Amino acid sequence: MEESLRTIMSGTGDIQGKIDALLELLHRGSQEQGTFDFQKTSQTIINGRVLLALKQCIRQVRGAKWSTWADEHIPDLSERTRQIWMTLGKCGDAREFAHLGEDRLLRIIRRQRSTNSRLSIGAFLEDHSIEQPGGEASVDLKVLVDRALRRPRGAGRRRGVQASPPPPPFNELLASLQNQARELISQGPDGLAQVDREALTALETTLAELRANIST
């Protein structure tokens, strides 16, 4: 499916033709979830990349807004599901680690974002000095990843050097809020007036966490 996605996006056809082809690809991918967890996770990541490509195309359509268009043309996928799939799809090496499962991958991605680290599963493993075993040893990798995720943020190691002490939760949340705000403002010529509901929801979630942190 990824090869089909690349072919569609590199084609010279009109934008509506690309949108129709991507919708068909997404429909096919949604039906082919596989039997095993790693197959389902891998397909979910591909579906997320198809959604990202669709979003890119819709933004080229005059007067179209992604969230409204998606609600109308992909009604079987909730906004939350779309957001989860696209989050996984944005991580370049996520499919290499599909055996970790969707939940672990999402937790790693969120950890990397909250610490302003490179959005890469491999980078997370490297930061925590975790070597990826092969074959049946993947169960051990899951245990090591779970252990790393329970550590305080910023407590990993890189190239044998002790990482700096983790910043206070307040600062982490504030940094995340600022980054999301910058992303919102840069999404269109009219700033916040052009943002889609997905991005606004993410910002509101971070703001709620920030307020809860302040209150405690």
pLDDT of 195 above 60: no
pLDDT in tens, 173-185: 666 676 666 666 5
Instruction: Quote the pLDDT of residue 160.
Output: 41
Closest CA to 181 of 196, 211, 203, 214: 203
Alpha helices for 91-194 (secondary structure H) = 102-114, 121-127, 138-150, 169-185
Instruction: Quote the pLDDT of residue 8.
Output: 86
| C-beta separation of 124 from 148 below 8 A | yes
Q: What amino acid is encoded at 45 in this protein? A: I
pLDDT in tens, 115-170: 888 889 999 999 988 887 654 446 688 889 999 998 877 666 554 434 444 444 66
Instruction: Quote the pLDDT of residue 109.
Output: 94
pTM: 0.68
Instruction: Quote the pLDDT of residue 40.
Output: 93
DSSP code of residue 153: T
Q: How many separate helices (H) and strands (E) can be counted in the chain?
A: 10, 2
Element (H, E) at 18: helix 15-31
Neighbours of 85 (CB within 10 A): 25
Residue 168's φ and ψ, nearest 5 degrees, are -60, 150
DSSP 3-state assignment of 128?
A: strand
Instruction: Quote the pLDDT of residue 164.
Output: 43
Give the model's confidence band at 99: pLDDT under 50 very low, under 70 low, under 90 confident, else very high: very high
Q: Average pLDDT of 89-103?
A: 94
